[in-house]
Structure 1
Amino acid sequence: MLASLFVDRTGSGVWGASSVLFFTFSAGLDARRLGLLLGTAGVAGILASPLAGRLAGRYPVRPLLVGCHLLRLVMLCLLLVCHGFAALLPVVAAISVGDRGAKMLEMLFATRVAGERRSAYQALSRSATNAGYAVGAGIAAVGLAVGPHGGYDLLILCDALSFAAAAVLVRRTREPRAEHRSQPAAAVTVPAEATVPAPAGGPHGPRPPAPRGPWRDPGYLLFVLLDIAMNLDDSVLNVGLPLWLVHRTAAPHALIPAFLGINTVTVVLLQVRVSARAEGALRAAGAVALYGLTMLATCAILAAAGGAGAWPASAAMIAAALAVTFAELIRSISSWELAVSMAPRPARAAYLGVAGMAQSIQKSTGPLLLTGAVMVAGPAGWLALGASVTGLALVQRRWCLRRLARFGTYTASAPASPAAAPAVR
């Protein structure tokens, strides 16, 4: 499965580094139509996560994931023959659906494969993901050097081939037995290895009523709503840092490519170590507060960089890139662990599909928040953003602990024995 992730993200790195250039110079789209194209694709991606989760609750995950890879393969090949905005719009939307659906299914598949060791598996997958993105960006740089048109075609084919290879690797990975796929949603199952005191009313007090699905579970929906803000590090890194450097600091523009390099190298080197401190629901909930404080530090550094000279501003921007990357390390573990831990086992697929919407919504709204409000307000905007994220992180932490205690269960904070999880090939 890790090999599949690496291959998939290598292709995604190729596409991510060249897609805007392809749509601008090869497809001939202006900024307005390009924005509409990507915005529509983002909305389609938001809808893909709950749809994939619903399907995964009824059918095996492995063929669904293979289907998402093949959908992206076919749609990318269609880009070679589609011309004009009207023809490209449904194709790009379908690619976004396949992309977001695949990410949600990978999350669920990994949850089943890794068992209680999902935090460690998530750390390894994050390292493989970032290594793949780095390799893909390097391939894109070589492909773009070939020429403006032939290079784009080669890069699209390279991305398509990566999805074909990922589909083959997923097909060869054994899928563990699904957790009560045919049963309706029920209350969270209490693991034998860890419990917390039961709610008031005695040591064996009454359990809360079983939720009838994620859309009728307001507690889980509140978690997902708060988790949108817990994904803002993505927009800060990819949108906020470059634009702030260019428009409001004296730092050299050549520093911008270093942000991605700092992020990639740091994640590959530290993700496993950080994940060990956020394993299990208790630690994951505690890590949410640390995420908020780290984002506050990031925003404070960016606010200070605006009035500094070239060298101090450059140092501040590098420090901000490191801080937001550390926030990403925390979020990538805590969000997933909590989304899984608070989902009833019989309906986990549907719940994780809804949880996956948080990242998709943030990708659509985060850049608008930064460019339309935070950066317009200047340093005060960054401080307000940092304070808001910190406050929401504390709210989410408190709510998660209350919900987990209400259902009378935490995921064990200690790693499960090696025999507890199926092997990943």
Structure 2
Amino acid sequence: MLLAQLLDRAGTGVWAAACVLYFTFVIGLDAGQVGLLLGASGVAGIAGSPLAGHLADRFPVRSLLIGAHLLRLGTLCLMLVVTDFALLLLVVAVTHLGDRGAKTLEMLFATRVAGDRRATYQALSRSSANAGYALGAGLAAIGLAVGTRGAYQVLILADALSFLVVAALVWRTKEPRGRGLVVPPAGPAEAAGPAGPAEAAGPAGPADGTGPAAAAAPAGRGPWRDRGYLRFVLLDIPMHLDDSILGIGIPLWLVGRTEAPHELIPAFLVVNTVLVVLLQLQVSARVETARQAAGAVALYGVATFACCALLAGAGAGGVWGASAALLAAAVLATAAELVRSVSSWELAVRLAPKEARASYLGVAGMAQSVQKSAGPLLLTGVVMAAGPAGWLALGTAVAGLSLVQRRSSLRRLDRLERLERTPPVPAASG
């Protein structure tokens, strides 16, 4: 699975680096059309995660994941021949729908295969994904340097080929029996001690906003009616803002508000990639239980606030001061990513009832998709428009929401633990 993920992200890195230029110079779209195209694909991607989770409760995850990869293979091949904007809009939207669905199914499948070593797998997954993105960006750079129509088409075919190979690798990976996600039940000591919650098999209390039936997920109920879990997903959206801050906020702030040289921008990606590859396993080793994951959410808020504070002051530092502040901000944004990549998924799994975990995780996957659509608009239209005060306000808001998320998650875990320790009520005899 790790090799499959590396190849998948390498293909995605190729496409991410080349798509805007392909649409502009090969298809002939203007900036407004390209923006609409990418915006529509982002909206379509939001539906990919819950749709994948819903289907994963009913069909084998491996088959669905193979189907998602083949869907992306087909739509990318269509891009080579489609030039009409309306049809291209549909093709790109379906591609992104398959992309987000595939990522959710990939984590569902990997969670089942990894079992109780989920945190370790997540760390290895992040490292392989970043290596794949870097490899894809490097391959794309070669094609972009050539700059011909044929070179762009080769890049698209390379991305499509990666999906074909990944589908074959997934097909060769044995899927555990059963369709539900496998998470080992917690023993009595774990349930009572600080090492983590009991298995999320039962309800949350009424104060959680869900009522007993919601967390137990009986027939007819699901994540969309579980207010406690929806609160977690809603609060998880700003816990993914590090992605937009690193990829959009820091580069644009450098260009528009600081004296730092533009040549520094590629260094942000290098810093991020190197630190994730080197440190993700070490961070994962410190976040192995749900309670540790809830505590790590607060660290995410601290790292994000410090990152935003550095960006707020970067404009007043001259060339060297601004460069140092921006590089330090990139390090802090990466630190936030290292924590989030482990804590967010661990909480999403542990806070969901195991009877419908795939559906719940599909809804949890929406947090990242929503952030990818709304995060760039928030940064460019609100935060950077407000200047340094906008960055300070964003950092304060994320830090505050991280504390709310931590408290809310711990309260839900406490209720799940109490339910686990409560003996079942015997059924009344006829």
TM norm structure 1: 0.91
Q: Which runs of 5+ in 1 are unaligned?
A: 182-187, 198-204, 412-425
Show the counterpart of 1:381.
Answer: 390
Aligned in 2, Cα 1:310/1:361: closer, same or farther, shift over 3 Å? same
One-letter amino acid of the structure 2 residue matched with residue 308 of structure 1: G
CA apart distance, 1:145: 2.2
Instruction: Please provide the CA RMSD for this pair.
Output: 1.9
State the secondary structure of the residue aligned to 2:192. coil
Partner of 1:284: 293
Secondary structure at the residue paired with 2:417?
coil
Q: State how 1:389-408 maps to structure 2 within 5 Å.
A: 389-408=398-417
Deviations 1:149-187 (A, max 9, x none): 111001000000000000000000011123558xxxxxx
**Partner Cα separation in structure 2 for residue 337 and residue 378 of structure 1:** 35
Match of 1:251 in 2: 260
Superposition pairs for residues 302-313 of structure 1, below 5 Å?
302-313=311-322
Asked if 2 retains the 8 angstrom alpha-carbon contact of 1:195 and 1:410, the reply is: no
Question: What amino acid sits opposite 2:192 in the alignment?
Answer: V
Identity %: 66
Q: Deviations over 1:335-391 (max 9, x none)?
A: 000000111111000000000000000000000000111001111100000000000
- The 8 Å contact of residues 180 and 358 in structure 2, kept in 1 or not, is answered as no
Q: Which amino acid aligns with 1:111?
A: T
Pick the structure with more helix per residue. 2
**Superimposed CA distance per residue, residues 275-315 of structure 1 (whole angstroms, 9 cap, x where no aligned partner):** 11111101100000000000000000101101110011011
Between the aligned partners of 1:177 and 1:219, the Cα distance in structure 2 is: 30
| Paired position in structure 1 for 2:76 | 76
Alignment correspondent of 1:27: 27
1:189 and 1:344 in contact (8 A); partners too: no
Establish whether residue 333 from structure 1 lines up as the match of residue 329 from structure 2.
no
Which structure 2 residues correspond to residues 104-119 of structure 1 after superposition, within 5 A? 104-119=104-119
The aligned counterpart of 2:198 is none
Deviation at 1:225, TM superposition (A): 0.1
Contact 1:179 1:345 in 2 (8 A): no
Deviation at 1:264, TM superposition (A): 0.8
Q: 29-38 or 221-230, which moves further after superposition?
A: 29-38
Residue of structure 2 in register with 1:196 after alignment: 192
CA distance in 2, matches of 1:17, 1:127: 20
Q: Identify the range of structure 1 (334-343 vs 77-86) with the bigger mean alpha-carbon deviation.
A: 77-86
Does the CA contact (< 8 Å) of 2:204 and 2:415 recur in 1? no
What is the alpha-carbon distance in structure 2 between the residues aligned to residue 324 and residue 87 of structure 1? 37
Does residue 233 of the first structure (1) align with residue 229 of the second (2)? Answer: no
| Cα separation, 2, equivalents of 1:263 and 1:166 | 25
Q: Which residue of 2 aligns with 1:101?
A: 101
CA pair 180-349 structure 1, distance change in 2 beyond 3 A:
closer
Which of 259, 263, 266 is equivalent to 2:272?
263
Q: Is the 8 A contact 1:14 1:140 kept in 2?
A: yes
SS at match of 2:191: coil
Distance of aligned partners of 1:375 and 1:392 in 2 relative to their CA distance in 1, 3 Å threshold: same
Q: In structure 1, what residue type is equivalent to 2:142?
A: V
1:130 alignment counterpart: 130
CA distance in structure 2 between the partners assigned to 1:124 and 1:249 by the alignment = 36
* Paired residues of 1:44 and 1:93 also in contact (CA < 8 A): yes
Aligned length: 399
The alpha-carbon deviation at position 192 of structure 1 amounts to: 2.1
Q: Distance in 2 between matches of 1:283 and 1:23?
A: 44
Provide, for residues 31-82 of structure 1, a one-character-per-residue CA deviation record: whole Å limited to 9, x for no partner.
1111111111111110111111000000000010000000000100111100
Deviation at 1:146, TM superposition (A): 2.5
Q: Distance in 1 between matches of 2:4 and 2:325?
A: 37
- Cα–Cα, structure 1 residues 168 and 382, in superposed 2: closer, same or farther, change >3 Å? same
Contact 1:112 1:178 in 2 (8 A): no
Query: Is the contact between residue 11 and residue 159 of structure 1 (CA under 8 Å) also seen in structure 2?
Result: yes
CA–CA distance in 1 between the matches of 2:405 and 2:227? Answer: 14
CA contact (8 A) 2:60 2:179 kept: no
Unmatched tracts of structure 2, length 5 or more: 194-202, 206-211, 421-430
Shift of 1:196: 3.2
Report the equivalent of 1:66.
66
* Residue equivalent to 2:327: 318
What residue identity is the alignment partner of 2:273? T
State the one-letter code of the partner of 1:317: L
Contact 2:53 2:105 in 1 (8 A): yes
User: Which amino acid in the other structure matches residue 376 of structure 1?
Assistant: A
Give the conservation status (yes or no) of the 8 Å contact 2:115–2:184. no
